[in-house]
Amino acid sequence: MVKVRTGTSLLGRAVEAPRTRDEATLERVPNPHPDTNYIARFTAPEFTALCPVTGQPDFAILVIDYLPGAWLIESKSLKLYLTSFRNHGAFHEDCTLRIGKDLAACLEPRWLRIGGYWYPRGGIPIDVFWATGELPEGIWVPDQAVPPYRGRG
């Protein structure tokens, strides 16, 4: 599990990117609107991790949607956390689920989903989807808008 810290210790200063996932920390801040249901979305169009077999880079578009409760993710910490996967060897499924589960543990959201849209490796794209449960009724969440693989771009 990733380290979690409350606050904004990374903002406003130069910080080296974590070299490994174990060095990464997710920071959360209080949600100023905890009484309002709304969706926050983060899109990481240049996510990379390493294939655990070949050591070659794997590329993905990640789309993270969540309905906050008491906490919001601090975006700089999220960027640095995602960067920590660049040296991490794991299969597409493991990367996508680990990120979703780490964010769910950090934020304790009312709802969270992650879509990992992976570019082909060996001619087959692997798209991975995970959610914490059912979306509460009456909440609008747009489509993740990543087309099925057809030479994405």
Torsion of CA 48, 52, 54, 57, to 10 degrees: 0
pTM for the model: 0.92
Interhelix angle 92-107/75-83, nearest 10 degrees: 150
Mean of per-residue pLDDT scores for the chain: 92
1 inside domain: no
The pLDDT of residue 61? 96
Instruction: List residues with catalytic annotation.
Output: 51, 58
In a domain, 126, yes or no: yes
Q: Which of 17-26, 41-50, 81-90 has the lowest mean pLDDT?
A: 17-26
Would residue 123 count as lying in a domain?
Answer: yes
Task: Supply the range of the domain harboring residue 32.
Answer: 21-131
